[in-house]
Homo-oligomer: A and B are copies of this chain.
Amino acid sequence: MYSVTVRDHIMIAHSFDGDVFGPAQRLHGATYVVDVELRRPDLDADGIVVDIGRAREVLGRVLADLNYRNLDDLPALAGRNTTTEVLARFVFDALVAAIRRGDLGPGAVAVEHIRVTLHESPVASGAYEGRVSGAS
């Protein structure tokens, strides 16, 4: 199995609802360093999984909707806690949609599996991974 991983980051504000979150129930924020791993069993004729430059552009566009925002105000995320895990799934779903639209090129349909990891601090991260066909 081959894979490529690209990295970007966002700086956001948000708050959480629920006693389990303790002081994180207050409005605070995070720099999320986002790693996206794209996997497929074989390479294309150029010898790549997908074009890394194009993958970075697509990831950048997905993250642009979140960057420099208070996530508590975003309709797309309304009614849920925007935890690291929930955001990882949000990015995963957006990337699957981008692949289906062809934004990553025609060869990207061969991508079988995506893992999205958000590093929120030097001591904690969250991730979501699943098959591109939609199953977890």
Contact = CB atoms under 8 A, between A and B. Distances in A.
B47 A81 contact: yes
Interface size class of A (residues with CB under 8 A): 35 or more
B4 A85 contact: yes
A28 interface: yes
A1 to B, nearest CB: 5
B11 A30 contact: yes
Given A41-B136, A124-B52, A70 B13 contact: yes
Contact of A29 (B2, B14, B53, B122): B14
A84 B130 contact: no
Contacts of A23: 67-68
A29 to B, nearest CB: 1
